[in-house]
Amino acid sequence: MTEKPLLRSLEINDRIYETFHTKKYERRQPYVATDPKKLRCVIPGVILKIHAHASKKVIRGEPVMVLEAMKMQNDILSPVDGKVKRVLVKPGQMVVKGELLIEYE
């Protein structure tokens, strides 16, 4: 059904096996640790309002913007105390899951 995949290797407990990979396995993304200086979008939607701006000091739990998603207006709260370095989105902008919203200094 699928194009014939190539015989690959897979290491399990220090032994390397010859085998085919699955599509899903080939598409794996390497794990990247969460960067506390970056606020990312967790649900797709549209930015309605932005309270934060560059060089503004915010505290943990403070609303930094409003995101409309699934017909709900959600306050996006700052996950950390810090100073905003840049705001990467504009009101009215459509954002996808994982999109960078705010970078902290």
Partner 1 sequence: MTTTSTKHLEFEKRASKALRGGGEKAIQRQIAMGKLTARDRIHALLDAHSFYEYDLFVEHRCRDFDMDKKVLPGDGVITGTGTISKHPVCIYAQDFTVAGGSLGQMHARKITKIMDHAIKLGIPIIGINDSGGARIQEGVDSLAGYGEIFFRNTAASGVVPQISVILGPCAGGAVYSPALTDFVFVVDRISKMFITGPEVIKTVLGEEVSMEELGGARVQSEISGNAHFFAHNEVECFHQIKRLVTYIPWNNTKRADPYPPAPPKARYNIEGIIPSVPTKPYDVREIVRAVCDNSDFLEVQEHWAANVITGFARLNGGTVGIVGNQPLVLAGVLDVDSSDKAARFIRFCDAFNIPLITFVDIPGYLPGVDQEHDGVIRHGAKILYAYSEATVPKVTVILRKAYGGGYIAMCSRHLGADFVFAWPTAEIAVMGPEGAANIIFKDEIAASPSPEAVRRQKVAEYTEKFANPYVAAASGHIDAVIAPAETRKILIHALQMTAEKKEARQTKKHGIPPF
3-state SS, 7-71, equals: EEEEEECCEEEEEECCHHHHCCCCCCCCCCCEEECCCCEEEEEECCCCCCEECCCCEEEEEEECC
From 17-25, 54-62, 72-80, 82-90, span contacting partner 1 (CB under 8 A): 17-25
Binds partner 1 (CB under 8 A): choice among 17, 72, 90, 92 = 17
Quick one: which H or E segment has residue 63? Answer: strand 63-69
Strand 7-12 relative to strand 15-20, pairing: antiparallel
Q: Does 16 bind partner 1 (CB under 8 A)?
A: yes
Binds partner 1 by CB under 8 A, chosen from 3, 12, 34, 92 = 12
> How many residues contact partner 1, by CB under 8 A?
26
80 lines the binding site for partner 1 (CB under 8 A): no
Q: Which stretch binds partner 1 (CB under 8 A): 8-16, 34-42, 48-56, 79-87?
A: 8-16
